[in-house]
Amino acid sequence: MMQFMLLFSRQGKLRLQKWYAAHQDKMKKKITRELVTLVLSRKPKMCSFLEWKDLKIVYKRYASLYFCCAIEPEDNELLTLEVIHRYVELLDKYFGSVCELDIIFNFEKAYFMLDELLLGGEVQETSKKNVLKAIAAQDLLQEEETPQGFFEDHGLG
């Protein structure tokens, strides 16, 4: 089972965090700090896996973003790399060549998409088509609803 997933930038800014096991907020911050430092200090050609406490860390860098997952000892490291890749593919497909800014400005979408791919720390749906279909269905529902806040946001409300 995946314990958590962190997305952070090369500067160490946390962009997304998903915790599949319960921790206190303080603990979450501590773990995040520790792992961000650990992963950022590694050199490019190094192995993508490392032991950390009694978990395994699997990480990969895409452009300016690091995707970092903690899995349990019996979990499969290589396949976790591909969970990350599938997630990146989904974001890419949805946003159209995704960049860090997309995730910053549409963080809620990034969360929704992750919930479709992984649930409770386990892979739920690996078909790209099915996940995108589910997200598209959500967007469709959005468009049916009148964007009634539109005027207010422009100071016309």
Partner 1 sequence: MPTVKGDGMRGLAVFISDIRNCKSKEAEIKRINKELANIRSKFKGDKTLDGYQKKKYVCKLLFIFLLGHDIDFGHMEAVNLLSSNRYTEKQIGYLFISVLIGANNDLMKLVIQAIRNDLAGRNPIHITLALQCVANIGSREMAEGLSVDIPKLLVSGDTIDSVKQSAALTLLRLLRSSPDSIPMGEWMSRIIHLLNDQHMGVVTAAASLIENLVKKNPEEYKGCVSLAVSRLSRIVTSSYTDLQDYTYYFVPAPWLSVKLLRLLQNYPPPEDPAVKTRLSECLETILNKAQEPPKSKKVQHSNAKNAVLFEAINLIIHMDSDPNLLVRACNQLGQFLQHRETNLRYLALESMCLLATSEFSHEAVKKHQETVITALKTERDVSVRQRAVDLLYAMCDRTNAEEIVGEMLEYLESADYSIREEMVLKVAILAEKYAVDYTWYVDVILNLIRIAGDYVSEEVWYRVIQIVINRDDVQGYAAKTVFEALQAPACHENMVKVGGYILGEFGNLIAGDPRSGSAVQFQLLHSKYHLCSPATRGLLLSAYIKFINLFPEIKHIIQDVLRSDNNMRNADVELQQRSIEYLQLSSITTADVLATVLEEMPPFPERESSILAKLKKKKPSSVPEGSEQKETTASKIPAVQMSNNVDIAPPTSINLMSQADELVSFSEAPPPSVFTFDSGPAPSAGGQSITLQGFDVGESSTDDFVDQGSPQGGSASVDLLGLGSPTQPTAPSVGSGGLLDMFDTLTSHSSAPATNGIDLGGLSGGAEEAFRKFICKNNGVLFENDLLQIGVKSEYREDLGRLWVFYGNKTTFQLNAFLVDVSTPGNLSESLSIQQKPVGGEVEAGAQVKQQFNMACVQEFAEAPVMTIQFLYSGAQQKISLKLPVVLNKYITPAEMDANTFFTRWKALNSPSQECQQIIKATSPIDHEQVKAKLIGFSVSVLEKVDPNAENFVSAGILYTRNQQVGILLRLEPNKQAQMYRLTVRASRDKVAKILCDLMQTQL
Confirm if 58 and 48 have CB atoms less than 8 A apart.
yes
Interaction between residue 128 and partner 1 (CB under 8 A): yes
Q: Are 34 and 28 in contact (CB under 8 A)?
A: no
Question: Which one of 77, 87, 92, 97 is in contact with partner 1 (CB under 8 A)?
Answer: 77
Contact between 99 and partner 1 per CB under 8 A: yes
Please report, as residue ranges, which positions from 10 to 29 form the binding site for partner 1 (by CB under 8 A): 14, 16-17, 22, 25, 29
CB 80, min distance to partner 1, A = 9
**Shortest spacing between CB 47 and partner 1, in angstroms:** 4
123 interacts with partner 1 by CB under 8 A: yes
Helix, strand, coil abundance in the chain, percent, nearest 5: 45, 25, 30
Three-state DSSP at 99 gives coil
Q: Check residue 64 for interaction with partner 1 (CB under 8 A).
A: no
The string of DSSP codes covering 48-72 is SEEEETTEEEEEEEETTEEEEEEE-
Please state the separation of Cα 59 from the chain's center in Å.
12
Query: From the list 47, 53, 97, 156, which residue makes contact with partner 1 (rule: CB under 8 A)?
Result: 47
Judged by CB under 8 A, does residue 92 bind partner 1? Answer: no
Given 45, 53, 97, 156, the residue binding partner 1 (CB under 8 A): 45
User: Is residue 126 involved in binding partner 1 (CB under 8 A)?
Assistant: yes
Rule CB under 8 A: choose which of 9, 81, 92, 93 binds partner 1: 81
Note whether 56 and 75 are within 8 A (CB): yes
Q: Looking only at Cα atoms, what is the longest distance across the chain?
A: 57
For the bound state, the minimum distance from the C-beta of residue 63 to partner 1, rounded and expressed in Å, comes to 15
